[in-house]
Amino acid sequence: MGKMGICGSEAIREMLGSEAEALQKIRESSEYLSRKYKITVAQVMEAAEASANFIDAGIFRNKPPLEAVCCEMKRKGFSTGEIAKRLGRSYKTIWNTLRRAGERCEENIKTGVIIPISALGNPKLGVLESAVRFLKDEEGMRLSSIAKLLKRDYRTVWTAYWKAKEKE
C-alpha cells in the first residue's frame, strides 16, 4: 500500500527524517523564500497554507477526474476523511478511489491554471463537470480552450458543461 496510509506530519517526518530535522528544513526553506521574495516568514506560511486549497488543472490530463483530485489532495497532506468532506463524497468512495489509484498517484503536470477545491465539492456534480463549469463560468474560458488544457475531446468537455448546467 506504500505511503497512501500515511497522512500529514507523519508523511513529512518520513520524508525528511526526524521531527527536528524536518522543522529545521522547513525553517530554512521559509527563510530562503522570505529573502528571495522580500516577504515575511508569516506571509510565506500563509501562501503555503492557501495553496493547499487549490489544485492545478493539469491533474486532469492523465487520470480519471476523481482519482486525480484525490491523489493531489492526498499528496498535499489531506486525510481520506478530509478529502471526502471537502468533495462531498462518502469516505468509502474516496478510500476505494485512492486504493485503486495506488502507484498512479505520481506528480502531475503544472499548467498554471488553478481551481479551488471548494469548486469541486458539489455532490450533485461529477468532478469533471464541476471543474469544467468553474473554468467556463468563473474563469471565462472557452470550451475549446478547456478541452486543450485538460487534454480531453471537445465533445467530452461540452457534454460535461451542459450536464453540470442541467443539474444545477
Residue 96 CB-half CA count within 13 A: 5
Task: Give pLDDT, residue 42.
Answer: 79
pTM flag (> 0.85): no
Count of alpha carbons within 13 angstroms of residue 162, beta-carbon side: 6
CB 104 within 8 A of CB 75: no
Per-residue model confidence (pLDDT) at position 70: 93
pLDDT in tens, 115-158: 999 999 999 999 999 999 999 999 999 999 999 999 999 999 99
CB neighbour list of residue 91: distance below 8 Å, 6 or more residues apart:
80, 81, 84
Q: Residue 167 has what pLDDT? A: 92
Task: Report d(CA 118, CA 40) in Å as an integer.
Answer: 28
Report the distance separating Cα 114 and Cα 53, nearest Å.
Answer: 10
* Residue stretches of the chain with pLDDT short of 50: 1-7, 13, 16
Domains of the chain, residue spans: 1-51
Predicted local confidence at residue 3, as pLDDT = 42
